[in-house]
């Protein structure tokens, strides 16, 4: 975990309060991040991976960006593709596990 943002408090401090609670977590696996930045620096805009948790109509939603498009684009580096795919799959498992506990 790199950083946690209590986003509803951040935007409220800027004068724009919102009614829902929004939390954003930045997560990183340094080995894979280093390989990605070495071979595909144009993907740095998508890093680190973010996990968002927010309220919507009384429900708690857990989301992240769909990394499958990015994973297809790095297919030329098979080792990195495998590592990144494994991490994305673990992130999806974590999200599913958290969802089951809600």
pLDDT in tens, 29-39: 999 999 999 99
Average pLDDT along the chain: 91
pLDDT in tens, 63-97: 998 888 888 889 899 999 999 999 999 989 988 88
Residue 3 tokens read as: 């950083």
Q: How far apart are CA 75 and CA 84, in angstroms?
A: 10
Quote the number of domains for the chain: 1
Instruction: Print the domain residue range for 40.
Output: 3-101
Strands 59-63 and 22-27: unpaired
Q: Could you tell me the CATH number of the domain that includes residue 93?
A: 3.30.310.70
């Amino acid at each position: 975990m790199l950083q946690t943002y209590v986003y509803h408090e951040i935007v409220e401090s800027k004068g724009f309060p919102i009614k829902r609670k929004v939390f954003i977590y930045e997560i990183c696996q340094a080995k894979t991040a280093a390989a990605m930045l070495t071979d595909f620096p144009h993907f740095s805009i998508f890093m680190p991976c973010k996990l968002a948790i927010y309220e919507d109509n009384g429900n708690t939603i857990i989301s992240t960006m769909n990394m499958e498009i990015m994973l297809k684009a790095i297919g030329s580096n098979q080792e990195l593709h495998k590592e990144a795919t494994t991490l994305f799959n673990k992130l999806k498992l974590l999200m599913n596990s958290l969802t089951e506990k809600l």
